[in-house]
Structure formats: structure tokens, C-alpha cells
């Protein structure tokens, strides 16, 4: 976007020429990302965007979404995405905890080959990173990317938490049938800035797994619970993508400094153990993490405490 910003006050013809260049770039990228049928729509879409800009004088300094697959990156503006959007109703919205209506683009349009990818990464602007299986994105959960319109801003995520007064926009991954798709609350990344096809987290960071000798069956099941629910915010053993919460193994593992029962309580409902206004960690109820899964998660955390030097990771 920064390239266009500089031209904001220059002539419209200039903007049109720039958008035409963007259009040819999109045609190239779209073979990869958007499939044959959307190539034309992409080029069309961009020229419509140009005329929209001219008619409405809309701000061209608008949010953009980066989509990377096969080593190529496409940058899509909000208006380009809106042109491909439809209106959807989300019954049990995760960020807003109520029924919401959105303009949204099906993930199958953004990433037609989603099912072929083991893992797709959604990077939020606040450091939250969800790695979601391509099968889930293409599956019965029905994934859409909701787009916040300039004229219809969404409400704050939590007006009472000074760290959560922004909305879930500009881009937010929502699901029409999260129950059928077994989609957890941590698979609704909001404030999305980038979508990237990536190797699965564990493949990129083998030291997220306990060292062989500590890897009991419950610990390995707990690893999966961790990857789905916790790795979106926490690093572990120095490994992972997220930047929101503390590393849960270095320099020490919470099982080393919390009594087990309080750790259980904290995972179920952090405010039951300690509370302050800007806390960011959500609680996990039994529907999200069953009692058996919580046991597995604790086995995993304990196994990791014994794996702190695993793969030459050193305690600081
Ligand atoms: C949305 C982000 C997010 C998710 C998801 C999340 N956490 Fe946290 N967690 C945090 C943040 C941020 C903190 C620091 C305290 C705070 O702001 O609430 C924290 C604190 C903690 C602490 C206390 C650490 C300490 O030393 O004080 C533990 C233990 C913990 N998280 C475990 C987990 C586990 C286990 C999961 C998965 C079941 C999980 N968290 C999921 C964000 C998250």
C-alpha cells in the first residue's frame, strides 16, 4: 500500500495506470492462487476498483491482506476482497459471542487448493498465529474471511479491556458450522494481516515435542491439544510462531512453579486464579478441552519440563 499512498494526491489517471499494472501482476499470481475462473474476475475486480476509487474518491490507503502460496505472494486490498464477497450470517461468532452478519469471501475462493495443504497459517497483527489444517479450511466447518467495511465498522472485541478495544477487522476468519467442523475458539483468528501456506508447526519446530524418553502416549496426545489451543499465543521450548503469551518451557515450565490444581484452574479460567484488566488469556471450558484432554495437556507440559535441554535448548 505504501507505494500507492505517495500517489494519493496525484491524478486519477496515474492511479488507473498503477492499478492496471497491479492487474497484470494479479493475473500472474492468480494462476497459482485463485484458479482459472477467478483470473478474469481478478482483472475485472481491479478495474472496477479503479472506477470505484474515481467515483467515490475512497481512501486508497486501505487495509490489505497478503496471501502466500507456492512461494508467491498476492496483496489484496479491502475493496478487491469486497468485490468477491457475499453476505453471510454467523450464528455463534467467537469474537463477539452472538449472531453476526458479515460481508465475506469463501476461503475456497482465496485458496482453492486449501485441502491439499497440510497447514495454512493466519498471522494476526497482534502476534496471534493460528496454523489451521487445510482439510479443516476446506471442510464442513465452512470457512469464510469476513471483511470489515469502512462504512460499517464492527464493535470492539472487549470494550472493557484496554488491549481489546479494536474490532476484529479488517479481516477475520469465521465459520458457518464450527461444531460440524470441530473448530475451536482459537481457530477464529481476527485482525488477520497474512495468510500463508506453511509446513505444519511441528515439522518446522520438532522441539515442540517432548524428547523421546519423555514421550508417553498421554504426553503425545497433550501435544496435539497444545498445538491446537495454546501454540496460537505461546511459544514452547523456544519454538513456535506466536508472540502473545510467555514461553511455556523456558526458562521454566509452569508445572515447575504452579501447583497442578492451580494450573488446571488457570487453564479453565485464568481469572479464577488471578485477575487484572488487560489480561489476554482466554479460559478453556470442558467443551473445548475435555477433562481427559486437560490431563493429557498436563502430561505434555510435565514431559516438556523434563525436555528443556532437548535439542540443545539451554535454560537461561
Ligand atoms: C489468546 C492467547 C492465549 C491463548 C490461546 C492461551 N494463552 Fe496462556 N497466556 C496468554 C497470555 C497473554 C498470558 C499472560 C497473562 C495474560 O495476559 O493473561 C498467558 C499466561 C499463561 C500461563 C501463566 C504463565 C505464567 O508464568 O504466569 C499459563 C500457564 C498459560 N498461559 C497456559 C496456557 C495453555 C496451557 C493454553 C492452551 C490451553 C494457553 N495458555 C492458551 C495468552 C494465551
| Residue 227 Cβ < 6 Å to ligand 1 | no
- Please state the atom number of ligand 1 nearest to the C-alpha of residue 278: 17
Separation between Cα atoms, residue 213 and residue 220, nearest integer Å: 12
Which contiguous run of DSSP H or E holds residue 75?
Answer: strand 72-77
Q: Which three cell numbers stand for residue 260?
A: 497442578
pTM of the predicted protein model: 0.80
pLDDT at residue 78 tops 80: yes
CA dihedral 220, 222, 223, 224 (to 10 degrees): 100
- Please state the atom number of ligand 1 nearest to the C-alpha of residue 263: 29
Separation between Cα atoms, residue 115 and residue 305, nearest integer Å: 35
| Mutate-to-test residue for ligand 1 from 281, 284, 291, highest number of ligand atoms within 8 A of CB | 281
Q: Could you tell me which residues are beta bridge partners of residue 145?
A: 105, 173
65 CA distance to ligand 1 centroid (A)? 27
Query: Could you tell me where in the chain the CATH 1.10.760.10 domains are found?
Result: 205-312
Higher-scoring residue by pLDDT: 93, 23: 93
First to last CA, the chain: 41
- For residue 108, name the pLDDT band (cuts at 50, 70, 90): very high
Q: CA–CA distance from 174 to each of 230, 285, 315 (Å)?
A: 19, 20, 39
Q: DSSP strand E in the chain: where?
A: 64-69, 72-77, 86-90, 100-106, 119-124, 129-132, 143-147, 171-175, 192-198
Q: For 205-312, CATH number?
A: 1.10.760.10
- The pLDDT score that the predictor gives to residue 309 is 66
| Residue 63 Cβ < 6 Å to ligand 1 | no
Separation between Cα atoms, residue 309 and residue 108, nearest integer Å: 42
Separation between Cα atoms, residue 140 and residue 161, nearest integer Å: 33
Separation between Cα atoms, residue 271 and residue 277, nearest integer Å: 10
189 CA distance to ligand 1 centroid (A)? 16
| Residue 245 Cβ < 6 Å to ligand 1 | yes
What pLDDT, in 10s, does the model give residues 28-63? 344 333 332 233 233 334 444 444 444 444 456 899
**Taking a C-beta distance cutoff of 8 angstroms, is the pair 149, 72 a contact?**
no
What pLDDT, in 10s, does the model give residues 110-135? 999 999 999 999 999 998 999 999 99
| Residue 282 Cβ < 6 Å to ligand 1 | yes
Amino acid at each position: 500500500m505504501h507505494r500507492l499512498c505517495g500517489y494519493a494526491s496525484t491524478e486519477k489517471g496515474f492511479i488507473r495506470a498503477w492499478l492496471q499494472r497491479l492487474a497484470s501482476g494479479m493475473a500472474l499470481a492468480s494462476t497459482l492462487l485463485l484458479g482459472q475462473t477467478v483470473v478474469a474476475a481478478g482483472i475485472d475486480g481491479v478495474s472496477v476498483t479503479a472506477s470505484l476509487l474515481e467515483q467515490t474518491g475512497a481512501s486508497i490507503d486501505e487495509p490489505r491482506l497478503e496471501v502466500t502460496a507456492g512461494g508467491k505472494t498476492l496483496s489484496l486490498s479491502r475493496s478487491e476482497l469486497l468485490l468477491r464477497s457475499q453476505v453471510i450470517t454467523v450464528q455463534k461468532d467467537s469474537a463477539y459471542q452472538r449472531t453476526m452478519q458479515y460481508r465475506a469471501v469463501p476461503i475456497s475462493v482465496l485458496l482453492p487448493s486449501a485441502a491439499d495443504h497440510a497447514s495454512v497459517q493466519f498471522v494476526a497483527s497482534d502476534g496471534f498465529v493460528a496454523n489451521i489444517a487445510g482439510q479443516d479450511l476446506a471442510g464442513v466447518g465452512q470457512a469464510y474471511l469476513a471483511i470489515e467495511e469502512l462504512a460499517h465498522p464492527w464493535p470492539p472485541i472487549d470494550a472493557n479491556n484496554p488491549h481489546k478495544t479494536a474490532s476484529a477487522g479488517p479481516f477475520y476468519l469465521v465459520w458457518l458450522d464450527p461444531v460440524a467442523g470441530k473448530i475451536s475458539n482459537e481457530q477464529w483468528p481476527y485482525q488477520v494481516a497474512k495468510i500463508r501456506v506453511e509446513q505444519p508447526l511441528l515439522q518446522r519446530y520438532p522441539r515442540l515435542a517432548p524428547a523421546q524418553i519423555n514421550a508417553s502416549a498421554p504426553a503425545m496426545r497433550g501435544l496435539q491439544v497444545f498445538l491446537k489451543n495454546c501454540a496460537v499465543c505461546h511459544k514452547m521450548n523456544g519454538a513456535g510462531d506466536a508472540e502473545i503469551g510467555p514461553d511455556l518451557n523456558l526458562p521454566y515450565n509452569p508445572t515447575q512453579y504452579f501447583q497442578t490444581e492451580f494450573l488446571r484452574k488457570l487453564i479453565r479460567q485464568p481469572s479464577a486464579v488471578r485477575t487484572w484488566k488487560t489480561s489476554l488469556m482466554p479460559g478453556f471450558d470442558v467443551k473445548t478441552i475435555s477433562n481427559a484432554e486437560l490431563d493429557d495437556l498436563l502430561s505434555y507440559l510435565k514431559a516438556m519440563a523434563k525436555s528443556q535441554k532437548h535439542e540443545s535448548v539451554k535454560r537461561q
